[in-house]
Structure 1
């Protein structure tokens, strides 16, 4: 399903979700930030205002990040919180 007006499609949002999960924004320095704050900062840093300004794209991206947290942890992309 492709989003209109040149916005990211679902495949691209999956890729962006994994790029976020592999980014420094999931590291210790940002642990006291909410997921939304981290995601906003990441998207601004990547100049992805198309996603930031689209409620549907942003919600889909956030859902993709949340859905892949466990897999990212199992793959060693995310360190456990106690480390």
Structure 2
């Protein structure tokens, strides 16, 4: 969990890591495709017991931004598989 004594850079790195953990999680898979991105992220954070992120608008927005910014890279790196229609 994030503590008040951490530097901004450390907190930013933690949020970036959390975004990648989400991108590598089952919440980005086929079972959750009909869920909105924010609903999947909420469920992931609850599952990880990260209420601190859910309660902090700024932290949540940062994680969501990082997830969206890295979707393309995650797909290119093979973390996300393309949809099969």
* TM-score normalised by L of structure 1: 0.90
- Count of aligned positions: 81
Q: Give the distance between the partners of 2:42 and 2:34, measured in 1 at CA.
A: 14
Q: Give the distance between the partners of 2:20 and 2:5, measured in 1 at CA.
A: 21
**Residue deviations 1:16-74, cap 9 Å, x none?**
00000000000000000000000000000000001000000000000000000000000
Instruction: Give the secondary-structure state (helix, strand or coil) at the position aligned to 1:9.
Output: helix
Gaps of at least 5 residues in structure 2 are: none
Determine the structure 2 residue equivalent to 1:53. 55
Corresponding residue to 1:38 among 37, 40, 61? 40
Instruction: Give the secondary-structure state (helix, strand or coil) at the position aligned to 2:13.
Output: helix
Task: Answer 1 or 2: which has greater helix percent.
Answer: 2
* TM-score normalised by L of structure 2: 0.88
Task: Check if 1:23 corresponds to 2:25.
Answer: yes
Q: Give the distance between the partners of 2:56 and 2:43, measured in 1 at CA.
A: 15
Determine the structure 2 residue equivalent to 1:81. 83
